[in-house]
Structure formats: structure tokens, C-alpha cells
Amino acid sequence: MQTLAVTWWRPGGSQTLSITAAGKPLALAAETPFPQDFLLAKPLPPGDSLELEVEFDVSMPFPTEMLEEPALSDWHPQLWWGVPGHCDYEVRLTVPKEYAVITSGRFDSERGCYCLENAPSFGIFLGRNRSVLKRDAGGVAISCLYKPENQKCAELLIDTAVDVVNFYRERFGFYPYPALSIVPGMDRPAGGNPFATGIIVIHGMGRMAERSELHWRWITAHEIGHQYWSRHVMEKEDPGWLWIGLGVYMDREYCRARNLGTEKHRELIARYIEGVRQGLDTTVNRSQEEQQAIKFDYNNVVIHGKGFAIISTLDCLLGQDTFQRLHRRCLSEFAGRRMGLSEFQAVCEQESGQDLGWFFDQWVNSNKYLAYEIASQNCQKGEICTTEVQVRCLGTLKMPIPVMADFEDGTSQQAFTNRLHGEMDTVRFQSRAPLKRVRLDPEGALPMVVPPPPAP
């Protein structure tokens, strides 16, 4: 290797960048905006190492309205390997006293800097005349920066964040970073976003009353989930439905465990179902050219709506224990790496012992939709009652569907239909008590399009 590719953020204003190796400055191979190529004096053989000294200076003019809360995510140059990767950071800051500081790292008083390891980015967020709440969640430092008049919302957010981090550590084994900070976003309560490693944005803190407590708790859990999926494990493919879906799976588990309901998750799936009803092409696997030609809200309908629907359906199909096991395995094996559909499918098949090509092909590579209904049910009473339930396929996607039979003595049984049995399948149960009721998809995990849209 004789050329080093270096990313360099060009925000406008003045900036300088120089790189030295073995005491000698490196020359630019060519003036390119991203990345910039620097020439080594001689090739670096595989396995050898080279220490670089990078000096840079940036002067960035912030708009007047941003001076209260200036924020930086991609503010420093770094080596570029063609894909993002994890780095270690030690950052020293000198900040005017009227600003509170939030960073991706945790402050080390002995070294006098903010430290962070194994992270794809290091964010800096400043708040002028802002207050900061601080908590601890099993060794993870939790902070929330807020305007003093928004303290009530900040207290709810930080208390939720502590509970979420503790839950994720218990359920999924760890939290990937030493710190987590919540910072304010735009004025209206429109959700949030993962600003940088260890920093999440929650919008609308000053308009807390316009949303329910469920909204604030859910959006906090949702954005923390993206610290696992997109930061700890990085996305490999565009569109990023897979990491979106896996992140939403995590906040759904939190909502279930805390009896918060799954209203937010049904809303996500409903976006996809409505897209199907509108006749939109919800195929997930699209080229960049195909994505650019899309005229509808692909992000909400497909990436978020169908993306989570696929993960929710897979969890239902494989069972909670198997899905939790493969989820943990993916977080462990792909830490600091990019995970795409092929890698995810391989882990799913290994953990479940099933060939799942039929599942992913229908859900990812096609516009097929799921629609099943109970066609009939019959219970023959006796010392042993026999119940037969006929399930009809109304849609274009074929897969096993859970059927729950509830009996008059309070017991229940569940069985799956056979996807290979055509348009109609019969599921049988035997019980000591007569049938009380039958339900398809008892947990409401599947994106059933019932009634189906009219044929084109």
C-alpha cells in the first residue's frame, strides 16, 4: 500500500490538513473532495505498521440560531477503508464557561480528556446556558442536556434511559458504550434520531404535553436501540431496513416487559399495510437507481414499516427463545463490523436449524403480502374434544401462521399452519374442554392485510 485515503469534512469556512509519517510530510496525490489521497514515501507491506501525525484546523461559521446548541459529528479527518469502521478516541476540549458539554466519550480526569473505544464516530454537542441531569446505569454514565424550563421532560427522559439501559443489559447482555447522553432537537415532538455514538436526539422537549408518556418512553428506548444497530453493529446494505427492524425489535421488547403496550409498533406496521392497500411496490431489495425513481415515502412505508414487519414476523415464526439467541449472537459476532442480509440469514438458519430462503425471498425480494383468515371452526365434544380449524390464504405470500385455540377450562393450545398446503389448511386440536374461541396471530405480530386489497 502506498496511498492513504483520508476523509475530511469540508463544512465551509477555513480548514487545513497536514499528515506526517516518519518525520516527513505526505503529499496529496490529487485534489479530491472525499476522500483525499496521500502518497507514502514507500509502499507499506502487509502486516507492517506506520505511525501518522495528523494536524488539522477548522473554523466553522455557525448560523445565529445554532449558536445556542452547536453540534459536531464528523469534525475530524480519519483513515478511510472504503467502509466505516470502529476507532478509539481521546479528545481534549476547551469550551467557554457558559456552555455545557456533551460528548460521545466519558471524561477521564487522570488523562484530562474524553475517552471512547470501538466506535464509528465521536460527537460533540454544546448547550449555551443549559442544564444537565446525570444518572448512572450499572456503570454507564447517563446525561440529559436541557433548557431549564423543560426539566420535567428531561427528568422523564433520563429516568427512562436508565431503565432502558438496565433492561437492555439484562436482556441482551451489555450496553456497548461507557456513556449515553440525551440532547434536545427541533421544537416539535416529531421523534428523535441517533446523532452520534452515545448521543441521541429527542425532539420537542419543550412541548411535552402534546404527546403521551408512552411516546417519550418509547422514543427514548427506540433511539438507544440504534446504539446497538448502526453504531455497535454497522449497516452493510442500502436501504438499511435490517438494522432499523432489529433496533425496533429491541424497543418493542422493552415496551412489552414494562407493560407499555405495542401501540407504537402497530403504527409502524400499519404504515406498511396501508402502502400495500394503496398498491405500492413494497419490494425491499432495490438498486440505487430503483430507489431514486421511487415516488412514495419509501422510508416510512418500507424501511421502517416493512423492515420491522419482517423482523416481527421472523421472531413469531422462529419463537422467542431462538430469536433472542440469534439476536445476541449477531450483536456479539458482528461487533465493530457490518452485517448484511446474507450474514443475518446464515445466523438465523444456523440457530433455527431451518432453511429460510423461502422466507427472505418472499419478504425481501418481492411485493407479496400476507393475508390469512379463519374459514371455519368445528368442535366435536366428548370425553376428549376434537377441534378442527380451517385457515384460508387470501394473500400472495405463503408462510406458517400461528393458530391459538382457547378452551372453556382456561387452557390454550397453539399450532402453525403448513405453508405448503395451498389455499386452505386444517389445524387440529384435542382437549378435555370444549372450544371457547380461535385466534390467528394471537400476539398481533404479523402484518396481516385483511381484507386484502382488490386485485389489480
- Cβ neighbourhood burial of 80 (10 Å; 0-12, 13-18, 19+): middle
What is residue 377's predicted lDDT score, i.e. its pLDDT?
96
pLDDT at 305: 97
Q: What three-state secondary structure class fits 142?
A: strand
Domain ranges of the chain: 1-61, 62-72+83-223, 234-365, 372-440
Q: What is the pLDDT of residue 65?
A: 61
The class level of CATH for 234-365 reads mainly alpha
Backbone angles phi, psi at 444, to 5 degrees: 65, 35
Backbone φ/ψ region at 441: left (φ over 0), alpha (ψ -120 to 50), beta: left
Of 69-78, 129-138, 289-298, 362-371, the least confident: 69-78
CA atoms within 13 A on the CB side of 381: 6
420 near 409, Cβ under 8 Å? Answer: no
- In terms of DSSP bridges, do strands 131-137 and 140-146 run parallel, antiparallel, or are they unpaired? antiparallel
CATH 3.90.1200.10 describes domain 62-72+83-223: no
Please give the average per-residue pLDDT across 359-383, as a whole number: 96
383 falls in which pLDDT band (50, 70, 90)? very high
- Give 331 or 30, the one with higher predicted confidence: 331
The residue among 100, 112, 111 whose CA lies nearest residue 71 is 100
Burial class from Cβ neighbours inside 10 Å (0-12, 13-18, 19+) for residue 324 reads middle
Stretch 251-279: mean pLDDT, rounded?
96
Q: Grid coordinates standing for 104?
A: 460521545
Q: To which residue does cell 366428548 refer?
A: 382
Q: Which grid coordinates are listed for 367?
A: 411485493
Helices (H) and strands (E) in the chain, counts: 10, 26
Q: Give the residues across from 437 on adjacent strands.
A: 406
Q: Is it the case that residue 359 has pLDDT exceeding 80? A: yes
> What does the pLDDT look like over 198-230, one tens digit per residue?
999 999 999 999 999 999 999 999 999 999 999
Q: How confident is the model at residue 73 (pLDDT cuts 50, 70, 90)?
A: confident
pLDDT for the residue 237:
82
* Distance separating the N- and C-terminal Cα atoms of the chain: 56
Answer yes or no: are the C-beta atoms of 389 and 405 closer than 8 Å. Answer: yes
Segment of 47-51, 63-67, 395-399 carrying the highest mean pLDDT: 395-399
| The most confident of 20-29, 41-50, 228-237, by mean pLDDT | 228-237
pLDDT value, residue 182: 98
Q: Is 375 exposed, middle or buried (0-12, 13-18, 19+ CB in 10 A)?
A: middle
Average per-residue pLDDT in the chain?
Answer: 93
In whole angstroms, what is the distance from residue 353 CA to residue 254 CA? 27
Q: Which spans in 281-399 are helix H?
A: 288-292, 298, 307-318, 320-333, 341-352, 357-365
Q: What is the pLDDT of residue 100?
A: 95
Q: Is the pLDDT of residue 107 over 90?
A: yes
Task: List Cβ neighbours of 255 (8 Å cut-off, separation of 6 or more).
Answer: 217, 218, 221, 261, 262, 264, 265
- What residues contact 194, with CB distance under 8 A and at least 6 apart? 200, 201, 223, 226, 227, 230, 231
CA distances from 45 to 51, 79, 151, 396 (A): 14, 17, 56, 55
- Cis status of the peptide bond prior to 120, with omega within 30 of 0: no
pLDDT in tens, 142-167: 999 999 999 999 999 999 999 999 99
Q: Report whether pLDDT(62) > 70.
A: no
Annotate 158-223 with DSSP letters as a single string.
HHHHHHHHHHHHHHHS--SSSEEEEEE--SS---EEEEETTEEEES-GGGGGGS-HHHHHHHHHHH
Length of the chain: 456
Based on C-alpha coordinates, what's the Rg of the chain? 26
DSSP state of 302: I
Do 218 and 250 meet the contact criterion of CB atoms below 8 Å apart?
A: no
By C-alpha distance, which of 27, 25, 31, 26 is closest to 8? 31
3-class SS of residue 132 = strand
User: In angstroms, what CA-CA distances link 227 with 100, 193, 195, 260?
Assistant: 23, 11, 10, 22
Q: Name the amino acid, one letter, at 244.
A: I
Q: What is the pLDDT of residues 6-27, one digit of tens each?
A: 887 655 567 788 899 888 898 8
Phi-psi region of 254 (alpha: psi -120 to 50; beta: other; left: phi over 0): alpha
pLDDT computed for residue 394 by the predictor: 96
The pLDDT value given to residue 10: 58
| Structure confidence at residue 59 (pLDDT) | 77
| DSSP H or E stretch at residue 414 | strand 412-416
pTM: 0.91
Residue 64 predicted with pLDDT over 90 = no
pLDDT-based confidence at residue 137 (cuts at 50, 70, 90): very high
Q: What is the pLDDT of residue 9?
A: 64
Give residues with Cβ within 8 angstroms of 390, minimum separation 6: 374, 375, 376, 377, 424, 425, 426
